[in-house]
Amino acid sequence: MHLSNFYYLLGFIIPLIGYRLLYGILGVVVLASTVLYFILYGRKEKEMLRVT
């Protein structure tokens, strides 16, 4: 998806949900991404530190 399409979509969504909900959704996405990162890569990193 091109960045211009993202801005078009964002401009369409903001009047519907507002900035408050938009930032709330962004916070949930960032938190979920962080948890998923540690689940997928955190164990591997611990094992690599233990071996060396």
pLDDT of residue 4: 84
pLDDT of residue 36: 93
- What Cα–Cα distance (Å) separates residue 10 from each residue in 13, 31, 41, 47? 5, 21, 31, 41
| Among 28, 10, 31, residue whose Cα is nearest residue 19 | 10
Parse the chain into domains and list their residue ranges.
13-52
pLDDT of residue 24: 93
pLDDT of residue 51: 62
Q: What is the pLDDT along the chain (52 residues), one digit of tens a residue?
A: 577 888 888 888 899 999 999 899 889 999 999 999 988 888 776 666 666 5
pLDDT of residue 49: 66
**Phi–psi pair at 27, nearest 5 degrees:** -65, -40
